[in-house]
Amino acid sequence: MDIKRYLREKRSLIEKALDESLPKTKEYPSLIHQAMRYSLFSKGKRLRPILALASAEVVGGKIKPVLPVACALELIHTWSLIHDDLPSMDNDDYRRGRLTSHKVFGEGIAVLAGDALLIQAFRLLSDLKSREDRNLKLILRVIKEISEAIGSRGLIGGQTIDLNSEGKEISLSRLKYIHSHKTGGLFRVALRSGTILSRAKKEEIASLTKYGEALGLAFQIRDDLRDKDEKSEQRKKKATYPALLGTKEAERLARLSKRKALSALKMFGERGEVLKELAESILDD
Amino acid sequence: MDIKRYLREKRSLIEKALDESLPKTKEYPSLIHQAMRYSLFSKGKRLRPILALASAEVVGGKIKPVLPVACALELIHTWSLIHDDLPSMDNDDYRRGRLTSHKVFGEGIAVLAGDALLIQAFRLLSDLKSREDRNLKLILRVIKEISEAIGSRGLIGGQTIDLNSEGKEISLSRLKYIHSHKTGGLFRVALRSGTILSRAKKEEIASLTKYGEALGLAFQIRDDLRDKDEKSEQRKKKATYPALLGTKEAERLARLSKRKALSALKMFGERGEVLKELAESILDD
């Protein structure tokens, strides 16, 4: 299969849906809508939404009912980036080569823009108008799983420990906690959402959950390895897998995780191809 | 009816449900759970949850199915207070006589605690286990209405304009926008949630929506009038109804709004008594 073409097509679908998911810039109060759009449309890879859509395809589901969830995941991801970058957190001036939200709009508006993106995600998730599929129980289950993945027992929990570990030496188990909660949780729930909404079987959901978790870890380590020299000063102070384990051991762990992710796809046979190719492309480009 | 007893009973019900709605302080990461509980349990009047419960009673509904929504509204209210108090917003050191979250836990954790409370609200709203009533469509409708009330077209919109108006002279229409979005929206949706979940008739929902809007405005003006001398320096710089209209005219507007609120209750006859007494108690104590 032509994975590059697949990614291009899915991304264009997602960009369009994201554009429709937020009020236009001109809408009052324009400032908050400018700030929301500034961060959302900044050359993201749209990995999480793509994973949600692909997981639906792998279990034989349709893309359309998953699209609002896919967009919600990207809004949520953007909220977490804006708040992570704040002076009171990582204090980053740049993200993806552009000034961060608080550098452009000021800290107050950056906090509010993050909040508003998070809220808009739940607005999308609960909207039935845009949905063909109206299995309400499954929609509520997905809202619940997403809230759990990003709350104090999920992403926020990871960010709390991360913030609290700054400048300290931390253990491998703590590093694992941070990353499985900050990064892993959204990957995991992206895969689960797509399959749950596609009425997949329990075993299918379980396998794609494993795939999501392993992919998340491999992605994190690759990201650490790749950006070792490119990170901001502030981010360099953070513990990473290469820093804690050494480059070689970190690379070994990344390869191991990737193998785990791929082997979780076995039960899907040829249908799993897209997630195999996705993993290759995410981990090696 | 004995409104004081009514309030006491409802508050105790709500306090218990709120306590069960958050992870215990000891749960890892303890710091974030401490911060979430510190702000949530700080002598709030629990007005919004009480209004949600009372509105259900007025239309002949039960309290139990509304309780998770009532709690969610209080978590949301607490999120908005924590973020409002941040140095990048109102920069308040005290709230209800206690140090604000960022003064106790630092700014980063305060941002995260607000985020986590907001997310936990949606977790509660989407949880079916705690619900006797399982009208999924109504639950999703309530989630959607709440997201709309607090997003960039609602509470966040109001806060954006508020933040942007600091130190400036503003028009009455702008002040109305700020308050109807920052304060009015949550009052309004509290009333609507309770009635929607009780399967109320359209006219009933419309009447209680009017009640909520008028009560919200009257509450805001009373709050401005009462606290004129008690407010923090930062808050004194904000435009208020008394400052813009003069005390007399502001008092007249508050009385007018209260009358509007009470007249919206007419269709409920004796059943509306509790909301009448509630309005009296909220606006005069």
97-156 in A: which are within 8 Å (CB) of B?
Answer: 106-112, 114-116, 118-120, 122-123, 125-128, 136-137, 139-141, 143-144, 147-148, 150-153, 156
Q: What is the second-level CATH architecture of the domain B3-284?
A: Orthogonal Bundle (1.10)
With CA atoms as reference, report the closest residue to A50 among A78, A18, A83, A10: A10
Q: Say if A53 is an interface residue toward chain B (CB within 8 Å).
A: no
Residues in chain A: 285
Mean residue pLDDT of chain B comes to: 94
pLDDT of residue B216: 97
pTM reported for the whole predicted model: 0.97
pLDDT, tens only, A15-64: 999 999 999 999 999 999 999 999 999 988 999 999 999 999 999 999 99
| Percent above pLDDT 90 for chain A | 86
Of the listed ranges A185-199, B229-243, B263-277, the least confidently predicted one is: B229-243
pLDDT of residue A82: 98
pLDDT (mean) for B202-212:
98
pLDDT of residue B130: 62
Query: Using a CB-CB distance cutoff of 8 angstroms, which residues of chain B are in contact with residue A143?
Result: 122, 125-126, 143
Nearest residue of chain B to residue A83 (CA atoms): B111
What is d(CA B109, CA A163) in angstroms, rounded to the nearest whole number?
A: 8
Q: How many CB pairs under 8 A join A and B?
A: 151
CA of A142, closest CA in chain B: separation in Å? 9
The DSSP result for B149-177, as a single string, is HHSTTTHHHHHHHHHHTTTS---HHHHHH
pLDDT of residue A238: 80
pLDDT of residue B233: 58
Output the six-digit token pair for B170. Answer: 């503003």
The DSSP result for A234-282, as a single string, is HHHTS--HHHHH-HHHHHHHHHHHHHHHHHTTGGGGGGGHHHHHHHHHH
Strand residues in chain B grouped as ranges (E):
94-95, 98-99
Coil vs helix vs strand at A204: helix
pLDDT (mean) for A196-222:
97
61-80 in B: which are within 8 Å (CB) of A?
Answer: 79
Banded model confidence at residue A133, pLDDT cuts 50, 70, 90: low
State CA A84 to chain mean position distance: 14
Query: Using a CB-CB distance cutoff of 8 angstroms, which residues of chain A are in contact with residue B156?
Result: 32, 112, 115-116, 119
Output the six-digit token pair for B20. Answer: 């069960």
Higher-confidence residue of A223 and B52: namely: B52
Torsion of Cα atoms, A5 then A9 then A11 then A13, to 10°: 180
pLDDT of residue B252: 96
Q: Which residues contact B153 (CB under 8 A, 6 or more apart)?
A: A23, A27
Which ipTM was obtained for this model? 0.96
Q: Is the pLDDT of residue A120 over 70?
A: yes
